[in-house]
Amino acid sequence: MHTPSAILSSARKLFVVTAALLLALGICACRRGANKNANANGASTSGRDNADPEKSKREAQALLDQGKELYKNDQDEQAAKTFEEAIRLQPDLAEAHLRLGMAYAALERKPEADESYKKAVELYKKRIQSDPKDADAFFNLGEAHSFLHQDEEAARAYRQATRLKPDDEEAFYQLGMAETRLARYPEATTAFKKALELDPNDYRATDAIEEAQEGAKRVREGKRHAEEMFRKQQENENANGNLNGNKNRNKNANSNSNRRPAPRRSPVNPG
């Protein structure tokens, strides 16, 4: 027979176990409700973004501008995150990919930078196909090619940008830099001179035009040296040819002197 104290102790244990079970069930229910609300909020946000593409574009452009300011102030990590968010809102925003590549490059994340530049090239090519008179698109296409060290393609894009926008001093300067890297110094000098006409205070163009002129001078000197070497080579070959000719003539003469003389006229029978 159980005593009253034993019965009370058993009741207490049963109460504690029941309370613990109820608490555990309550916590699980709260977690499920929180996850459900979070998923619902995420779906709602995604739905709003998809339902209002113009709003997404405006927000992406605002983030792009914000990222450019961060990058300009050497806040490269924050800039990269901002550009990534802009791309999430508008995946075909070409400049965001270009700027993200620049931020990655500043962070020494070269593989990711190159991938961003390649994506920018792809998107800008599509853009100029739909609008062949978009000078800014051609300029930024040149930038992406330049960052990928594709100087021929970069020069082509910059050149078209200057044709579409003849007062774009930066486009002429970057064209000159691309031509310099391709060792096309006369073309580079022409581009730098045009940049200086548009902005006489651009010290970069002043320095660059001097380097291009020095490069052109080196090319001229190299050509003169090559021509001089070719001329000397031809003279040596001619001199050797004359010497060999004289040797052959002397050899033939000696050979003829050792030969039995031929009769000058037919022999006459004795009469």
Cα separations in angstroms, 116 against 55, 120, 178: 24, 6, 21
**Does residue 98 contact residue 117 with C-beta atoms inside 8 Å?**
yes
Q: Do residues 67 and 147 share a domain?
A: no
- The more confidently predicted of residues 30 and 241 is 241
Q: In this structure, what are the phi and psi dihedrals at residue 4, rounded to the nearest 5 degrees?
A: -60, -35
- The more confidently predicted of residues 196 and 38 is 196
Minimum mean pLDDT range among 47-51, 86-90, 231-235, 258-262: 258-262
- The more confidently predicted of residues 252 and 177 is 177
Domain total for the chain? 2
Specify the pLDDT at position 216.
85
**What is the band of 234 on the pLDDT scale with cuts at 50, 70, 90?**
confident
The answer to the question of residue 210 being in a domain is yes
* pLDDT value at 53 more than 50: yes
Q: Do residues 229 and 177 share a domain?
A: yes
How far is residue 223's CA from residue 213's CA, in Å, rounded to a whole number? 15
How far is residue 162's CA from residue 175's CA, in Å, rounded to a whole number? 8
Specify the pLDDT at position 211.
93
Token pair of 222 as six digits: 């190299």
- The more confidently predicted of residues 230 and 92 is 92
Token pair of 223 as six digits: 């050509």
How far is residue 262's CA from residue 265's CA, in Å, rounded to a whole number? 9
The answer to the question of residue 22 being in a domain is no
CATH number of the structural domain spanning residue 98: 1.25.40.10
CA angle 252, 241, 258 (to 5 degrees): 10
Looking at this protein, which amino acid is placed at residue 223? K
Instruction: Give buried/exposed letters for 152-175 (b at 16+ CB in 10 A, else e).
Output: ebbbbbbbbbbebbeebbbbbbbb
Average pLDDT, the chain: 81
- Residue of 193, 239, 237, 228 whose CA lies nearest to 213: 193
DSSP state for residue 265 in the 8-state scheme? S
**Does residue 159 contact residue 175 with C-beta atoms inside 8 Å?**
yes
* pLDDT value at 153 more than 90: yes
* pLDDT value at 256 more than 90: no
The answer to the question of residue 249 being in a domain is no
* 133-149 residue pLDDT tens: 999 999 999 999 999 99
Domain membership of residue 97 as a residue range: 54-130
Residue with tokens 């391709």: 182
Q: How many CB atoms are closer than 10 A to CB 113?
A: 21
Q: Do residues 165 and 223 share a domain?
A: yes
* pLDDT value at 183 more than 90: yes
- The more confidently predicted of residues 241 and 153 is 153
Q: How many CB atoms are closer than 10 A to CB 126?
A: 13
Minimum mean pLDDT range among 28-37, 126-135, 173-182, 212-221: 28-37
Specify the pLDDT at position 157.
98
Start-to-end CA span in the chain (Å): 184
* pLDDT value at 188 more than 80: yes
pTM above 0.75, yes or no: no
> Considering the chain, what percentage of its residues have pLDDT values greater than 70?
70
Q: Do residues 89 and 179 share a domain?
A: no
**What is the band of 268 on the pLDDT scale with cuts at 50, 70, 90?**
very low
Q: Do residues 180 and 121 share a domain?
A: no
- Region 235-249 average pLDDT: 70
* pLDDT value at 71 more than 80: yes
Q: Do residues 68 and 155 share a domain?
A: no
* pLDDT value at 45 more than 70: no
- Residue of 152, 151, 101, 106 whose CA lies nearest to 123: 101
Minimum mean pLDDT range among 175-189, 214-228, 246-260: 246-260
* pLDDT value at 17 more than 50: no
**Does residue 144 contact residue 126 with C-beta atoms inside 8 Å?**
no
